[in-house]
Structure 1
């Protein structure tokens, strides 16, 4: 139900902004394929949600629903991480998250021009840790802990570093 509720909230925001062409991405295969009409909606609790979405869809000239697995959707993963960090008191109103859209990529603001450049690929520190359990020079304890956490997701096969996946 939460997936449908999130979809409804997003569609309502798009309607408020008078958007007429919309692509909806979701990481719930059940919800996306039900909305596309490829899967039947059998759960009585979900039927009303689906009806509401299909009613809202009439406000658009063109709307498409696309399934995007969670591990390929960094924004959804970041939002889920943020949501898991917040404790909500059911007696209080939940304040909405304020979001801003920047014209330039967010990482642009984090790069300093005079930063030292190295010739190592992005995964160099992970590779060194997986291979030799070595940390980069002058790393803080927090950085070491982060490196250990990242390295859990990787495996070394010969000289090739692979990211662990379901398959």
Structure 2
């Protein structure tokens, strides 16, 4: 049963998290093109598609920690440090995606659809679309770095006694 759960966990991570990391990374440049050429319907359609991929696969990605917990429980490693660190980093990655990446993608898309200037967040003052997409790219990079770290921890499992 453990091998089955592990296989589903890994496949879910590849199928669900992979598209989010790629689409989220592609979104800022696509959004910049869209903001730079308000009459370019293809650029806006590309940005919309990438945002939809991020939203849908973020929801599908919930399967990854569910099967991860089931696998860890079967393996008896729920208390291991490497797993606890992975859980915390996964929660951080989910938070970055849900609270920083997806809302900013939506805001950039709204601006591109209206053909107007980006408004800054409260306290930031007004900022242009390029600055907003650069900031979005930074948050996306943090999201991707967190997932890469979780992946490395899942492979190396430092201190694990379950074998390599």
Which of the pair has the greater relative contact order for Cα pairs under 8 Å at 6+ separation? Answer: 2
TM class, shorter-length? under 0.3
Q: Relative to total residues, which structure has the larger helix share, 1 or 2?
A: 2
Q: TM-score, normalised by structure 1?
A: 0.21
Q: Which has the larger radius of gyration?
A: 1
Q: Relative to total residues, which structure has the larger strand share, 1 or 2?
A: 1
